[in-house]
Every structure is written in C-alpha cells, then in structure tokens.
Amino acid sequence: MKITNNSKALQGIHTADGGVAYLAPGETRELSVFKRDKKAIDDAPFLTAEGDYAPNPDEPPQPPETSKVEPEAILAAIASLREDVFSRVDALNGVVENLGARLIASQETSENGSAPNTGAPATSVYAVVGKAGGWNVVTKDGVPVTKSLRDEAVKDFDAKSEDDKASFVEANKPD
C-alpha cells in the first residue's frame, strides 16, 4: 500500500515485517502494513494511505473466491439425485413386498400345515444328519428313518429326487 507523510516532520510507520519505516515530510512509499494498524493511520491527519492492508498474523486466511454455480446446474443435480432416490425407494418397496409375501406364506404354512404355492422349489422332508465318527442318519421331518450310514453312502443324497430319496430310505431302514 502507498503511504504518504503530509506533515512537516519525520513520521514512523510500523510495518508488517516487524520494523518501523520513517517517512520524510512529503514522502510517499510502498509499505506493507497490518490491518490492525489501520485505525492509527486513519486517525493521523498527516498520513494518507491507499491500497490494501496486510492480514493480521493471528487472522485466519480468507477462503479463495469460489466460482459462481449456475442455477440450472443446481437444478439438474437436484433432479438427478431425486431420480436416484426414487429408484432406490422403488427397489426397496419391491423387497418389502417380497418379504411381506414370504411372511404371509410362512404364516399360512404354520396355520394349515401345508406349504402354499409360492413358486419356490419345495423343500425335502428328508435330511441327512451327521453323527459322531463319520456316521450319519437320514431323517424324515426330524425323525430318523434309516440305519446309521457312513459319509460315503449319503454324500449325494441331497442331489437325489424325492422319489429316489424315498427308495434310498426304504433300502436302508433300521434293522
């Protein structure tokens, strides 16, 4: 900033570099002066200051100027976000409807004992239950229906059709 001494005496100005600059009467000089010294310079009728003051050392730096965003760009971004949110809500509604249908089907099964037609593959009434030492037993509705069988004998049991499972059980009844 430019500071001019308009008095008939030598004047000292505190500068931003920590020193004092002395201006002779009528002298104009380019100096860096903190904002905190503005009042002292403005109050001195014999000094004239033109330009910007340096930021105070304890003052946080000013954020840079941001570019102006056009309203159309903001509206387009909002529309895009809105569309995304609505598509996600629609997807979640589909999940909720599916879960609701499955819950109703499950309740119907527990009420009347028969599985409703949900389009899902029917679950087998047979299951292989492992016992200790590599021995297994096949159960029907949780009740053992075969003699104890080794792992090798039942390794492909779950891949069999229901008819083949029934035949397997018939052939391996307990003694």
Instruction: Answer yes or no: is pLDDT of 146 > 90.
Output: yes
Condensed to tens digits (0 to 9), the pLDDT of residues 15-66 reads 988 889 999 999 999 999 998 888 888 899 999 999 998 888 887 776 666 6
For the CA atoms of 54, 59, 65, 71, the dihedral, rounded to the nearest 10 degrees, stands at: -150
The long-range contacts involving 36-44, CB below 8 angstroms and separated by at least 24 positions, are 37/13, 41/3, 41/13, 44/11
Residue 18's pLDDT is 81
pTM, rounded to two decimals: 0.35
Which region among 11-25, 68-82, 97-111 has the lowest average model confidence (pLDDT)? 97-111
For position 66, what pLDDT does the model report?
Answer: 65
